[in-house]
Structure 1
Amino acid sequence: MSSSAGRLVRPLLLAAVAMLAAGCVARPVGDFGRAQPSVLHDTVMPYAGKLIATNRKEPVSNLNQTDQEREMHDRTWRFLIAAHSRDWLFDGSVELQRTRIGPARDFRYTPERYYTWLRTTQYQSSPTRYNTVGRHILADLDTLPTTFQSICAVEAVDRQRRIALAELGGIEQSVADNVAARRTENQWHIDWFVRALNYRYDSYAYALDHLLVETPHEQSMGVDENLRRLRPWVDRANRGDFCMSGTGAGNGTGVTIPSRFQTMVYDREVIPQK
């Protein structure tokens, strides 16, 4: 990084770190967890992040963002936060990762964090924890169709850019480099979403398994069914299948995923009554 660029980015980076320490770096969200406009989060922090990423020799584009790209970032945002943050709320490190100010940290998250938050939260009755997990899964299921559609639209934009480059002559190499960098940035974001969706599924499954041991209750069957409905979406994301028509009710294999209760080995030991 040049000395002039360094002088520009250091105050911005220090300001971002100070806001993180003060708890002010959380990105504002609106309905359904979609990101809301913010000068700090949409302009200041991304500008600092681009300078830092350039210094790390990462691909950095300066193309104008399409409506489709903006829509994808807004819709995927809710999946990038809660599941892997402290206390199942917001962790400022995710925003630093999004803006490329800080390194990717989601690789380090382990699935017990959600269950730890769940079991240490005070509820009036233990079945309420099952209701909480069920609500979280349903919220994901409600927003996944439109999230997949937004990713599919961005993939189409990237294809259209490549076709235009191949067919139009006289386009500067700098533009071609920009297109390649934007495609990489979009793919990195999609990959992050896929990791986040896998993490959510693993966190829900971990929580359900441990709740079955800690506080068995018949409400677990409803949660298990919701989890089974989520699995095909996870499989599609892992295949990169964001444009397939349908509701995601099937995984394309014709195989029904067995529930925990279908595969459970029941304890049939008879304990004498005293």
Structure 2
Amino acid sequence: MTRGLPEKPLRDGRRPRIALALSSGLVLAACTATQGDLGRPRPTVWSQLIAPESGFLSAAARGEQASYFRLTDDEEQLRDRAWRFVMPGHERSVFQGEVSNLAHTRILPVSAQSTDVSDYFRALTSMSFASQASRYNRLAEDVNADRLLIGPFRANAMRVVSMDRVRMRTVEASPDVAAGKQEPALARVIENEGLVFWVCERLDFRIRSYRYALTNLVVEMPSREAVRAERAIMALEAEALPLCQMPLNDAFGEGKRPVVYKG
């Protein structure tokens, strides 16, 4: 069962209309963005200015928590590192990649992403390989690439969680914090905590997708290379566990850990 973010009343009744216009009118701009390292869009007017503002308005229009605070260096890096895990596992999933891109910017809700574990297998088998071993090798390489990036993401997340703890203690204890800063401060903590939840959800989806691909490869093209791929998936599971069990700030309340990130 999924849990959405606490609803935030809109202060400006025009925001839903503005967000809808931006969301529909700028989709094509997202789809034409050039790609940088790890598949992330290179810095452009779209990625640096238009997408963040459009995403903020769209999230607010859906009743999600949205903070206007500037991102800290660690918060910005956390979002960059999350990119790998929230995108489809295979570059040939072009449409799903664009959907995930728009979810990453918050223009679309994460519920728009595919939950079909067969997506990766279909993309993998649509490629031309010299032998069945090449398909198993590609599977193992994708799994290992995910595993190697989890540690840096977790370290980044721990720094953000620690600073959020300081942020909220200051909000609660200092009379110098303006009343108008308290709500966006909590919204930012929810956004950060929710991002970790979202990455964990998509990691779980990737693992299930990799297992689906491995099982069906074995059925179609049995190979001794399957052992290497299976070990890689097991190692990925072991690496993901500490991340998804790390203590957070309970921003959602009552110890609840929502399955879907919407912030």
Match of 2:241 among 235, 239, 264: 235
Question: Using the alignment, how far apart are the partners of 1:104 and 1:224 within structure 2?
Answer: 29
Match of 2:26 among 16, 22, 31: 16
Match of 1:169, as an amino acid? P
Tell me which residue corresponds to 1:40. Answer: 46
Question: Using the alignment, how far apart are the partners of 2:149 and 2:42 within structure 1?
Answer: 16
Match of 1:80 among 79, 86, 96: 86
Question: Using the alignment, how far apart are the partners of 2:22 and 2:94 within structure 1?
Answer: 28
**Do the aligned partners of 2:77 and 2:156 also contact (CA within 8 Å) in 1?**
yes
Tell me which residue corresponds to 1:128. Answer: 134
TM-score, with length taken from structure 1: 0.77
Q: Percent of aligned pairs with the same residue? A: 24
Change in 2 beyond 3 A, CA 1:178/1:225: same
**Do the aligned partners of 1:86 and 1:113 also contact (CA within 8 Å) in 2?**
no
Change in 2 beyond 3 A, CA 1:62/1:97: same
Tell me which residue corresponds to 1:29. Answer: 36
Question: Using the alignment, how far apart are the partners of 1:131 and 1:185 within structure 2?
Answer: 36
Question: Using the alignment, how far apart are the partners of 2:214 and 2:62 within structure 1?
Answer: 41
Change in 2 beyond 3 A, CA 1:127/1:106: farther
Question: Using the alignment, how far apart are the partners of 1:211 and 1:19 within structure 2?
Answer: 37
Question: Using the alignment, how far apart are the partners of 2:16 and 2:217 within structure 1?
Answer: 50
Match of 2:77, as an amino acid? E
Instruction: Point out where structure 2 has 5 or more consecutive residues left out of the alignment.
Output: 1-9, 249-263
Tell me the number of residue pairs that the alignment of Structure 1 and Structure 2 aligns: 238
Deviation (angstroms), 1:221? 1.1
RMSD over aligned Cα atoms: 2.5
**Do the aligned partners of 1:62 and 1:178 also contact (CA within 8 Å) in 2?**
yes
**Do the aligned partners of 1:19 and 1:25 also contact (CA within 8 Å) in 2?**
yes
Deviation (angstroms), 1:87? 2.7
**Do the aligned partners of 1:151 and 1:190 also contact (CA within 8 Å) in 2?**
yes
Deviation (angstroms), 1:18? 3.1
TM-score, with length taken from structure 2: 0.80
Q: Provide, for residues 18-37 of structure 1, a one-character-per-residue CA deviation record: whole Å limited to 9, x for no partner.
A: 335xx3156x331x455643
Question: Using the alignment, how far apart are the partners of 1:207 and 1:17 within structure 2?
Answer: 30
Question: Using the alignment, how far apart are the partners of 1:120 and 1:135 within structure 2?
Answer: 17
Deviation (angstroms), 1:169? 1.7
Q: Is the radius of gyration larger for structure 1 or structure 2?
A: 1
Question: Using the alignment, how far apart are the partners of 1:63 and 1:200 within structure 2?
Answer: 32
Question: Using the alignment, how far apart are the partners of 2:173 and 2:48 within structure 1?
Answer: 33
Deviation (angstroms), 1:52? 2.3
Tell me which residue corresponds to 2:192. Answer: 186
Tell me which residue corresponds to 1:59. Answer: 65
Match of 1:166 among 162, 166, 172: 172
**Do the aligned partners of 1:134 and 1:223 also contact (CA within 8 Å) in 2?**
yes
Change in 2 beyond 3 A, CA 1:18/1:190: same
Match of 2:154 among 135, 148, 159: 148
